[in-house]
Each structure stands twice: as structure tokens, then as C-alpha cells.
Chains A and B, each alone.
Chain A
């Protein structure tokens, strides 16, 4: 059993996906394009009563023959099943406790998607072998193992977006990253938007993202570039840094807003905090 997904986390994850209400999607919520796609393919998920205006092709004639009532077959469309999760594996994610937090967040999101949406595509690199497609609640264990084995490797956001589109699984995309350089995501987000993807950015927010907790003489290293700088961190510098972080926040929000996407800053629970309340905060399930 790994330290990343230890028993308590797995227990909390199981409890989380079990307690969360199953979501359904109505045809009214679908776009014409999606409706068209749903009628062509999909997985049978149940029946519902006919209402005027429904597509006659969705009638379940067998049920009509048995009950003389009109019911429509409800198919889960591809985008619900093909929920894509992009995990940023760049070295910058190792700063702080973000890498662990990101994979746990991915586990939670992916677990919900597997249990409630039935399928998930995990993308952590631009190469074909750096993505994995999973379906059904039974794939949760394999999914967690995959997350544990995800290596750190820097990939350009655009390359990740291309990889997602190459899978022809455009739909809902959850992108877990620190978004340290928001401008580098502009192209990727725009590209996904053009292809009809609905992107939600998930930023495992650390407390230090708002106000640096550092102090004294420090050597700061950018894990991505390896660049190091020695800084005497004191009150004024900390205040200036807080201002810079607020600027970064605004830049991140601006990048997602301009792409018609949303950004969720998920407050990472502290280590050892396995309470459901902590991991289901910020309407996480409903966002999924």
C-alpha cells in the first residue's frame, strides 16, 4: 500500500463516491449536437415517460408492446462517459505538497467519474502511452495504481490539449495543474474550446499560494528550470510576494475566462485530513 493512497484515503474515497448522489442528465440539457450524437451511440441507462416533442426514434417499442405506454430509452452520451482528466506532471507541481495533493484530487475526481459517470480518460502526457481509458467503478483500483505510477515529466499545455483532441473524446475536461504560467495555457484552452470541450481547471490550492509562509534567508529553486535564487524573505518582501500572487490569480482567472472555461481552486486538505467534508468542499461533486 503506497503512502499516496493509503488505507485511510482509500476508505475516505470509497465513502465519498458512495455518498455522493448519482447525477443524471436530461435531454433538455443537451445541445442539438450532443443529442444527435446521443442518438447515434451511447449506453442504455433507463427509461422515461414520453413527453411531446421527444424524438420518436427513441421510443422503446418493446416496452410499448408490453405496457401500451410510451417510454423513451435514455442513453448516456459519450461525453458523460468520456470524461477526460488531464494531470499536469511538470516538475513545478512538486513545489510544496502540490504533487501529492494533485494526484489525490485526481483520485477523487476520477473516482467520482468512474462511479457516477461510468468512464474516464486520464491524460498525463502528450504521447499515446501516457494516457489511460478506464470505465466503471471496478476500475477504481487500477486507476489509483495508474496515478501512483505517473512520472513527473514536463509537457507543454498545448501538447496535452492536442493529445486530448487526438483521442476524439471531446467533452468535459478536467485539467489539474498549478497553472504557474497562465499565458502558456491560452492556446491550449482556446484549442479545446474550439473543439467543443468544456474545460474546468482544477488548481490544488496551497495555503502558500495566497501568502508565502517562508521567512529568513532562503534559496528558492524552480524545480522546472532548476534556477535558484537566494532571497532574504522578510515582511516587505512577503507582502510584495502576496501582491504578486494576487496578480497571478488574476492572470489565471483571466486565462480561463477568456477561454470560456472555469477555474476551481480546490483547497487541499492538510496531510492526514481524510474527512469527507474536507474533500467534498467547494461543491466538488456537483462540479463533476
Chain B
């Protein structure tokens, strides 16, 4: 029972009116007393008129007294005083894939956590503002009404890596107004936060998981090299690695199952080469693990359909043989063909040597030019010396261009847009431009004015430019839904997760009792009026 306080206790002085009500409620006192021998006749006459005796009705006075007391109390501003405490609840819910681990009851840890949150939401005071942060690779905030939050929460499923640090989310809230309640398994970055309430779900268990996957696409060649990291967080065991297309089709080459002998607490790296023809999904699956978290035992690699572009060769004069040779090689690798005189916007890749080209090249055009003047601009400089090349760009990374020699090159004006890949002493010798979905790689020199085509890096340069020109759409993708960090998949580490910390008691706002008292007074007065005097 909460205490009641009065905002204006001085108004209780009106209670002094109650004795006056008693006096006013008493029936008027007759001024005369008459002796009569016919009192019986008087009473009969009154009964004939259906009148009631003039008497002081205690129960009517009691009703009036209670109503007046209620009104006076309402006038004094009674209320339940506010209770200090937070009025907002932030639920930080670990929704990473590790929360899919089965618990003893058979439900997943996420199900347990979600049920705990839903039960808590049902019992929270109505004034508490609730927000739920579903933490996976990013934090998804569920806001709105309780029902909306509960509905969204019921639809949520655990997936992906827990990249959101729960501690960072739970930290920094003002404790006097906001209660933070974190629920998770405490693994990986989902470690128990230092602040706020904490509820651990899930139990320590052995687990075998695919914790890493790297895909090296050999495009324009059809080979795809998949490097898998299999972590065994438990005693030594033997598991089977299955890789198959989904749906099973010839587009993904058949990969025979492998048996992996995993030592205790070992992380094994497995390299599998897959040949793809027309794309599809490649499932990598660990079987016979027998652990509580099957979600991290399989992952999907999406292999897009490899492009088969036409390759056009445009030269000012006779096409240099190295250029034609590289065009033929690329076309044969990706299944395309070499065409001549085709508009650059329609060919998959245009290789230009010398001549001129409109600047900027049309969007979505994929162009590699050698000494091609853009809009006819650029003077010729002799024997520009290569100072360095961009070593972090995927096109030039890892290549040795130190032997590049250039006899003459175009001098691009200052402010020429693009990323310089080759830095000459008098300006960039190669510039990379992005034009929408297209790509343009401009070399300032013609092939015949340099020894680039003699370098081993030349085919790589063109191939990388060719592969990059088709963007991310052509690159294989690993479905991150089930890919866990090594720490997160180590379910046995849950034993070290700290114990639960309860939620603080929520505050309550001041609750006025004026309305209930006024209503009570009204009811009492109506009851008094209804009852016969």
C-alpha cells in the first residue's frame, strides 16, 4: 500500500465544516409542542398521504458526511507520491547466431531470452517506455507500443555474427531514468556488460563451428577456392564436411565429402576448390558434430552467374599484338568473344590503344585505354619516369612494376579526376575512374611506347581491371547469417560469464487521487438522493 500525500494539506481545514453539516442535516425542530388527543388520527392521516415521519436519518447523514469528506480530501490534492526510479527500459538482446544454441529445454537461448523479455514486458508498469535493441552485426532498435515491440520481438530470429558490443550499448545511460537490461550468452563481443541488469541465457557446451570462410574467385576462370576455418571447441572429434550445390545442379561442381579429424580446441583450415559454370549456391556443412548449435555448422556461399562479356579492341592504327593477345585470352577465359568497331557502351570491355575518346566515357562503360587522349587533351611528355605505384589498390596490389619504362606519355592537366595508380615524376601515368557501374583505367602511354606488355604484371593488371569492372555482382558472397567469430562459437566459455544482475525497481509517477475521490463523492451523493429520505 503506497503512502498518500497531500499537495495542500491546509485545505483539510474544510473538514471543520462537517459538524455544520450535522446541524444542517438535522430535521428542523418544531417551535411548538402541541398536546393532542388525536395523535393516532394524525398518524393515520399522514399514512394516508404516504408520508414518512420527519426523522433524522443517520445513514443519509453518513452518506453526506462521507461525500463531503471525500470532496474535502479531493480538494486537498491527495496523490500517491512518485517513486524514484527509472521510467525507461532498454532491453539489449543478443540476437547473434550463437543465441540459437539449444538449451536444456530444447528451446534456443534466444527463445528463452525472448520469453523472459515478453514476460517482463507484460508486467511492467504502463508508464515505462520500452525499447529493445536486437544486437547482431548491427543493432536493430524496436520501438513503439508494447504490443508492437512484442510483435516484432516474436518475429525476430538469431542470426549473424555478434559484432555489436553489448557493453557499449548498455553503457552510458543515466541510471536514474533508464534501466538497461541485457540478455545474452556472454560470448564473444556479446560479453556481459558492466552496467545495468544482466541475464545470462544458454549453458556452456562443446561446439564445432565454421568460424571463417574466404572465397577466392578465379574469374574470369571458373575456379573458386573456398577456404574454411573449422573450430573445434571441445574434445577431439571427427566430423564430416559436405559441400554441395543448392539446388544440386551441374552448375556447381561436385565436391566429395571430407572427413576432418579435429584435435581438442583446434581450429583447422580447409581449402576446397569448386568449379562453377553458371553460378548458384554452395553449401558448406559440418555433419556428425552433435553439438547444441547447428546453426554455425553450415554456411552458404552465393556464386553469381559469371559474366561473359564481349571485348572490343580499338586502336588508332594497327592493333598492337599484345593487346589483341590479352583480349583473346580474356575472352576465352570468360566465354566471351573479341569484337572490333563496337561502341564502347555496348561491349563488356573496351581496350583502346592511342586515338581519342570522349571524356568522360559513358556511364557503365568499362574501358582500359593506353595513351588515348580524352577529348583530344593532353600534351606529350618524353620519357616520364615512374616514381611509385599504388600498392593498396586491388588492381596494382602485389604487382611489381619497378621495371616499367615509358618513352613518351600524355600529360594530363592538373586536377584530372580519378585515382592515380601509377605515379610519374610529372604526373600520374595511370588513373582509375569509376563511372557509375562502369570502370575506366587510363594509362598515359601507348603499349608500343612502353615495356608494360613485357612485364609479368601486364596480364594481371588487365585481368584485375577486367574483373573489377564487373563490380561486386560477379563476386561470390558468403552468407553471414551463420558465420560466427571464433570466440562467439566457443560455447564452453559461457561458464565464465558473470551471474545475473536483477533489474532495478522502476519508478512510478505521481498518481492523483482527486478523480477517484470525486467519483466516490458523486456516487455517495447519488446513492443518498436515490434512497428515500
Contacts and interface: CB of A to CB of B under 8 A. Distances in A.
Interface of A: 92-96, 98, 178, 180-181, 209, 214, 216-225, 227-232, 236-237, 240-241, 243-245, 247-248
Contacts of A94: 35
A229 B41 contact: no
Contacts of B30: 216-219, 230
Contacts of B44: 244
Contacts of B532: none
B36 A95 contact: yes
B31 to A, nearest CB: 7
B42 A241 contact: yes
A223 B43 CA distance: 15
B42 A229 contact: yes
A229 B42 CA distance: 9
Contacts of A223: 35, 37
28 contacts: A93-B37, A94-B35, A96-B37, A180-B40, A216-B30, A216-B31, A216-B32, A217-B31, A219-B32, A220-B34, A220-B39, A220-B42, A221-B33, A221-B34, A221-B39, A222-B40, A223-B35, A223-B37, A229-B43, A230-B30, A230-B54, A231-B46, A237-B46, A243-B48, A244-B38, A244-B45, A248-B38, A248-B41
Residue in A178, A241, A247 with the greatest tally of chain B CB atoms within 10 Å = A241
B413 interface: no
Given A232-B54, A237-B46, A222 B34 contact: no
B45 A222 contact: no
Given A229-B53, A240-B48, A241-B45, A222 B39 contact: yes
B120 interface: no
A98 B34 contact: no
Nearest to A241: B45
Interface residues of B, number: 26
A217 B28 contact: yes
A286 B30 CA distance: 45
Which 6 pairs show the lowest CB-CB distances between chains A and B? A240-B45, A244-B41, A92-B37, A219-B30, A222-B39, A180-B37
Contacts of B40: 180-181, 222
B392 interface: no
B46 A245 contact: no
Interface string B216-231: 0000000000000000
A178 B420 CA distance: 139
B32 A222 contact: no
A223 B55 CA distance: 21
Residue in B39, B46, B51, B55 with the greatest tally of chain A CB atoms within 10 Å = B39
A180 B41 CA distance: 10
A223 B36 CA distance: 7
A32 to B, nearest CB: 42
Contact of A219 (B34, B43, B51): B34
B46 A240 contact: yes
Given A217-B54, A244-B42, 5 more contacts: A217-B28, A221-B35, A240-B49, A241-B38, A245-B38
B27 interface: yes
A217 B28 CA distance: 8
A220 B33 CA distance: 6
Nearest to A180: B37
Contacts of A222: 35-37, 39-40
Contact of B37 (A95, A218, A236): A95
Contacts of B32: 216, 218-219
A283 to B, nearest CB: 26
Interface in B12-36: 27-36
B45 A227 contact: no
A287 B226 CA distance: 147
A180 B38 contact: yes
A228 B43 CA distance: 11
B253 to A, nearest CB: 113
B36 A221 contact: yes
A222 B34 CA distance: 9
B178 to A, nearest CB: 69
A153 B285 CA distance: 122
Residue in B41, B54, B55 with the greatest tally of chain A CB atoms within 10 Å = B41
A95 B35 contact: yes
Given A237-B49, A244-B44, A244-B45, A218 B34 contact: yes
Contacts of A243: 45, 48
A237 B45 contact: yes
A180 B38 CA distance: 7
Contacts of B42: 220, 229, 231, 241, 244
B466 to A, nearest CB: 115
B37 A237 contact: no
B34 to A, nearest CB: 5
A105 to B, nearest CB: 16
A247 B286 CA distance: 114
Contacts of B35: 94-96, 220-223
A230 B41 contact: no
Nearest to A248: B41
Nearest to B44: A244
Nearest to A224: B37
Contacts of B31: 216-217
B53 A230 contact: yes
Contacts of A225: 39
Contacts of A96: 35-37
Residue in A209, A219, A220 with the greatest tally of chain B CB atoms within 10 Å = A220
A237 B46 CA distance: 6
A98 B36 contact: no
A216 B46 CA distance: 14
Contact of B49 (A95, A217, A236, A247): A236
A4 to B, nearest CB: 18
Contacts of B53: 229-230
B34 A241 contact: no
Contacts of A214: 34
Interface in B333-372: none
Contacts of B51: 232, 237
Residue in A95, A178, A216, A240 with the greatest tally of chain B CB atoms within 10 Å = A240
Residue in B43, B45, B51 with the greatest tally of chain A CB atoms within 10 Å = B45
Nearest to B30: A219
A227 B41 contact: no
A244 B37 CA distance: 13
B38 to A, nearest CB: 7
A151 B45 CA distance: 32
A184 B27 CA distance: 35
Nearest to B53: A229
Nearest to B48: A240
Nearest to A239: B45
